[in-house]
Structure 1
Amino acid sequence: MDRYVANRYVTETQLARLVRVPADARPYYRALAEAVRNLILDGRLPVRVRVPPERRLADALGVSRTTVTTAYDRLREQGYLESRQGAGSWTALPDAGSLGTDNLWIAPDDDGLLPLHVAAPPATALLGDAVAEAGRTYHRYALGMGYDPLGVAALREAVARRYRERGLPTRPDQIMITAGAQHATHLLLTMLAGPGDPVLLESPTYPHAIEAVRLRGARLVPVGIPEDGRHVDLMISAMRQSAARLGYLIPDFQNPTGHLMSGEDRAALVAAARRQGATLLTDESWVELALEEGEGAPPLAAFDTDDRVISIGSGSKLWWGGLRVGWIRAAPGLLRRLAVLRSVVDIAGPVFEQLVAAQLFDRIEDARGERRRTLGASLSALVAALNAELPAWTFTVPRGGGSLWIRLGAPVAGAVADAAASRGVRLAPGPWFGVDGTLERYLRLPFTQPPDVLREAVRRIATGQPGAFHPREPLIHAL
């Protein structure tokens, strides 16, 4: 057993809170084993994490030690627990590869499938005016070299101003412009994470962040998100147990769950990072997409006092993914080091796109209002269609963001996605967003497409097409 297994653990109090087995469940050991198994498959209880000894968990649950021992034995037989004499027991998967699915992120543009695998809205109606205005000023910048690894001054000031409007004092020298949030994440992980270093991530989370950590050869430390979204105590425990000095999280309308972290939890997490000497990368790609005006929480960096919170932002969700403009808010010294690192990758970002983004910042409230109207209408249409066509699928309606995190009735997300593709809908199954093949009970359904597209997609998923499936045959029954 490696050091990672030995160092990470879940306490009896934490596990008792997570399993939530009714006291009258019969037989109790079977219900307990099933609850733990579901936590592992859902990614809320990561693999390779030590579980508490039988006696301690029995005391926490108020049951006999024999009951817990029988449940643990059942989990070992099924492959969800492994044990070693003197080392205890830790969570596992019987065959992580068999729970996954082919990666469908890269799909041909002309395959005819409705693209519900990507949570990306179309361009804002404000884009055309911003492009025209940028074109009128572009010639001024053509007199220079055009290389600025930190970004065009006008855009850096616009980003800094937006942080100040959100209540976080920020200077332009604390801002670096990047080619989107993914580019920013890659640069930061390249600088801050090395081979074997533990990096804390939520599970589920943004898939490309997982791949960026793996690309560095760093060690993934996943922390499951409970149904209520309150996972900060688990993150703090995992940070301490794994000795992680770097974490990546999405506190604002988390992708894919839609959870919004409270101000209280943000303060607690930053305080814990300070105690542990850890740096937190906070992805704010969805922060501007609250569905109600005034909804939200202070930036994570608002609780920072010693430059250990690095903020990552993007215009892809608010304005358009094709614009490819993002930014990093960090200490000026770190940004200068990043600029040197960037010079061997792409030197600097395109000037014209940065000027377009600077124009869009001047009308950011108009863009936010547009997204509230369009995403709100799409969300209402998707919720209504799901309730009518697939009532067994459960979800929590988020207060912002761009997707629903759907819980299925069984660990069949890969099979559901395959069947949906045969009916003309491309879906994002849960394992895309997790580590070690977990999250097979979940799908991400974005509400970034127009209402009619979403209604048609749900209809195809639920009923199938003539000649292929029975006209009213539910998808889950056709697998």
Structure 2
Amino acid sequence: MTTTTPGPPATGAVRSLTAQGTVRLLGTWHTTGPAYQALADALRAAVLAGALPVLTRLPSERELARALGVSRATTSAAYARLRDLGFAASRVGSGTVAVLPRDTGRPVGTPPPAGDAPSADPARPASDRTIDMSQATPSASRALHGAYTRALEMLPGYLDGGGYAHLGVEPLRAAVAARYTARGAPTDPDQILVTTGAQQAIALLTTTLVARTEHVVVESPTYVHALGALRRAGARVVGVPVGDVEAMESVVRRTGARFVYLVPDFHNPTGRTMTRDERDAVAELAARHDVTVVGDETLTDVDLTGAGVPAPFVGDGTDPRLVAVGSASKSFWGGLRVGWVRADPQLVRRLAHTRQVLDVATPVLEQLAVTDLLERRDRILPERVADLRARRDDLVDLLHERLPAWDVPRPDGGLCLWVGLGRPLGRAVAAASVAEDLRLAPGPLFTPDGSGQDRVRLTFTRPVGEYEEVVDRLRRAWARVGG
């Protein structure tokens, strides 16, 4: 019998998940431990990864047990464990709903004190906190404080106005345009729209250019939040292998797609960079089929080898079908929330009109700080890149040493590793890692069709000293799934 929790967080479900949908969502979830614990951990990992949205009504214990081929006692105990951990709430007549934990004074996902959680695993060493390896968010550049200081000195010149720079403040648009020009794509400020982060830029482009039920082409795997923006726009997302322009053109021709999204530099999550020939082929594809191709250059500055990248994705900058997205998040700090679109002036104005229903404009002070950072980038980035290189090497070396069966690349840039497990256990490892107070993202999260079952993505934005503990937890998680 399902128990209820008095006064849980808001449990009004806004969507439902069927038993068969749960089976597809979880994939391989079994571990060597108790089945109820493995099932609860798999569902908890899905919530943390965003694959199972909060306020989703889960199937009944009986339906899920039948679909998974387990006893109802297993599903009942799994749901009880989720409630204990704060990831589910139940009310009579409402069923069990996925939620996020309330503020309990302990890290998200950490079990309650001993004695309050009958599902706790006594064989697992206790940890003092959850380590998040799913977020590709490096700490702030040391230059940030000085940039804000100088931005405050510039701010009085903007206080007489209303504060809404719909296209972005002129100094920042000029600085971004100058950066493109220096890289080989002559650009005027009227080709730049400043956005509240690259994610807003992607959302604006999809909302403006993609019609519901229209086919859109992406690389598979790809940036997870771009997939989210496209799905929210109602697009039919079709994936092609990373860097396979021939397959891309084949899909465009077959489906009539008018929109393509790519990550050309230090691709998220594989770390691959498109060659100059591949970029030329994409430009030819865009012209031949009249397709808008968006190149997300958020990671362009995170070049860990110093070899450089080819010219900007927009080429010489004259083709209006080639659009670039950029951001200050990875280069300087995600908390700045400043991004941009480089596009034809007419499209820039359309996007600015679309954003009026969202946030009108990006905060002026942050724009001025980014202007300062861009002007000093040649002095700032070398130190930042060296720090990220050390983090990458520490994690890669430890994984090579302690999990030698895994395929662990050493990417030339970016912020993550696309790790091959050799077996389709990506979701199971992510679920088992949650039980080890470690968060990571399973491969299927980054694909439009749920492939990538044999992969996980690990970011290397944690402090170097943490990776010993990270890899120890990964080894325990791998052992739990029979690795």
Does the Cα contact within 8 Å between 1:270 and 1:303 map onto a contact in 2? no
Residue matched to 2:459: 446
Residue matched to 1:414: 427
Q: For each residue in 1:191-240, what CA deviation from the matched residue of structure 2 results, as whole angstroms up to 9, or x when unmatched? A: 10011111111111111111111111111111133xxxx41221122121
Residue matched to 2:230: 213
Residue matched to 1:110: 107
Distance, in Å, in 2 between the alignment partners of 1:418 and 1:397 is 25
Residue matched to 2:304: 291
In the alignment, is residue 382 of structure 1 matched against residue 395 of structure 2?
A: yes
Q: For each residue in 1:4-36, what CA deviation from the matched residue of structure 2 results, as whole angstroms up to 9, or x when unmatched? A: xxxxxxxxxxxxxxxxxxxxxxxxxxxxxxxxx
Q: CA 1:188 to 1:221, structure 2 compared with 1: closer, same or farther past 3 Å?
A: same
In the alignment, is residue 426 of structure 1 matched against residue 426 of structure 2?
A: no
Distance, in Å, in 2 between the alignment partners of 1:305 and 1:171 is 11
Residue matched to 2:276: 263
User: How big is the shift at 1:94?
Assistant: 13
What letter is aligned with 2:27? L
Distance, in Å, in 1 between the alignment partners of 2:254 and 2:24 is 24
Aligned pairs for 1:13-24 (under 5 A) are none
Residue matched to 2:56: none
User: How big is the shift at 1:99?
Assistant: 2.5
Residue matched to 1:71: none
Distance, in Å, in 2 between the alignment partners of 1:159 and 1:119 is 23
User: How big is the shift at 1:455?
Assistant: 2.5
Q: For each residue in 1:269-302, what CA deviation from the matched residue of structure 2 results, as whole angstroms up to 9, or x when unmatched? A: 1101110110001100100110122421111101
In the alignment, is residue 241 of structure 1 matched against residue 254 of structure 2?
A: yes
User: How big is the shift at 1:454?
Assistant: 2.1
Does the Cα contact within 8 Å between 1:266 and 1:303 map onto a contact in 2? no
Q: CA 1:342 to 1:477, structure 2 compared with 1: closer, same or farther past 3 Å?
A: closer
Aligned pairs for 1:349-428 (under 5 A) are 349-428=362-441
Q: Which moved more, 1:105-114 or 1:362-371?
A: 105-114
In the alignment, is residue 313 of structure 1 matched against residue 326 of structure 2?
A: yes
Distance, in Å, in 2 between the alignment partners of 1:105 and 1:159 is 33
Distance, in Å, in 2 between the alignment partners of 1:260 and 1:282 is 12
Q: Which moved more, 1:423-432 or 1:278-287?
A: 423-432
With the length of structure 2 as denominator, give the TM-score of the two structures: 0.74
Distance, in Å, in 2 between the alignment partners of 1:233 and 1:396 is 25
In the alignment, is residue 97 of structure 1 matched against residue 94 of structure 2?
A: no
Segments of structure 1 that go 5 or more residues without pairing to the other structure are 1-92, 465-473
User: How big is the shift at 1:367?
Assistant: 2.6
Q: CA 1:103 to 1:224, structure 2 compared with 1: closer, same or farther past 3 Å?
A: farther
Equivalent in 147, 151, 173 of residue 156 of structure 1: 173
Q: CA 1:452 to 1:164, structure 2 compared with 1: closer, same or farther past 3 Å?
A: same
Q: Which moved more, 1:178-187 or 1:109-118?
A: 109-118
User: How big is the shift at 1:477?
Assistant: 5.2
Report the 3-state secondary structure (helix = DSSP H, G, I; strand = E; otherwise coil) of the residue aligned with 1:419.
helix
What letter is aligned with 1:222? G
Report the 3-state secondary structure (helix = DSSP H, G, I; strand = E; otherwise coil) of the residue aligned with 1:97.
helix
Distance, in Å, in 2 between the alignment partners of 1:410 and 1:278 is 37
Does the Cα contact within 8 Å between 1:166 and 1:299 map onto a contact in 2? yes
User: How big is the shift at 1:338?
Assistant: 1.4
Distance, in Å, in 2 between the alignment partners of 1:96 and 1:303 is 45
In the alignment, is residue 169 of structure 1 matched against residue 166 of structure 2?
A: no
Aligned pairs for 1:66-85 (under 5 A) are none
Does the Cα contact within 8 Å between 1:419 and 1:475 map onto a contact in 2? no
Residue matched to 2:288: 275
Distance, in Å, in 2 between the alignment partners of 1:234 and 1:96 is 27
User: How big is the shift at 1:403?
Assistant: 0.8
RMSD: 2.0
User: How big is the shift at 1:437?
Assistant: 2.1
Does the Cα contact within 8 Å between 2:245 and 2:282 map onto a contact in 1? yes
Distance, in Å, in 2 between the alignment partners of 1:98 and 1:224 is 24
Q: Which moved more, 1:444-453 or 1:276-285?
A: 444-453
User: How big is the shift at 1:305?
Assistant: 3.8
In the alignment, is residue 327 of structure 1 matched against residue 340 of structure 2?
A: yes
What letter is aligned with 2:401? A
In the alignment, is residue 475 of structure 1 matched against residue 419 of structure 2?
A: no
Equivalent in 155, 177, 180 of residue 138 of structure 1: 155
Q: For each residue in 1:217-271, what CA deviation from the matched residue of structure 2 results, as whole angstroms up to 9, or x when unmatched? A: 111111133xxxx412211221212111101010100000000000000001110
Segments of structure 2 that go 5 or more residues without pairing to the other structure are 1-20, 29-41, 51-99, 109-128
Report the 3-state secondary structure (helix = DSSP H, G, I; strand = E; otherwise coil) of the residue aligned with 1:209.
helix
User: How big is the shift at 1:95?
Assistant: 6.7
Q: CA 1:455 to 1:295, structure 2 compared with 1: closer, same or farther past 3 Å?
A: farther
Distance, in Å, in 1 between the alignment partners of 2:307 and 2:381 is 11
Q: For each residue in 1:10-66, what CA deviation from the matched residue of structure 2 results, as whole angstroms up to 9, or x when unmatched? A: xxxxxxxxxxxxxxxxxxxxxxxxxxxxxxxxxxxxxxxxxxxxxxxxxxxxxxxxx
Q: Which moved more, 1:136-145 or 1:118-127?
A: 136-145
User: Size of the alignment, in residue pairs?
Assistant: 374
Report the 3-state secondary structure (helix = DSSP H, G, I; strand = E; otherwise coil) of the residue aligned with 2:48.
coil
Does the Cα contact within 8 Å between 2:198 and 2:298 map onto a contact in 1? yes
Distance, in Å, in 2 between the alignment partners of 1:476 and 1:244 is 43
Does the Cα contact within 8 Å between 2:184 and 2:316 map onto a contact in 1? no
What letter is aligned with 1:358? T
Does the Cα contact within 8 Å between 1:99 and 1:438 map onto a contact in 2? no
Does the Cα contact within 8 Å between 1:198 and 1:220 map onto a contact in 2? yes
User: How big is the shift at 1:438?
Assistant: 1.6
Distance, in Å, in 2 between the alignment partners of 1:358 and 1:296 is 23
User: How big is the shift at 1:97?
Assistant: 3.2
Does the Cα contact within 8 Å between 2:222 and 2:268 map onto a contact in 1? yes
Does the Cα contact within 8 Å between 1:251 and 1:284 map onto a contact in 2? yes
Q: Which moved more, 1:153-162 or 1:297-306?
A: 297-306
Does the Cα contact within 8 Å between 2:424 and 2:453 map onto a contact in 1? yes
Does the Cα contact within 8 Å between 2:420 and 2:454 map onto a contact in 1? yes
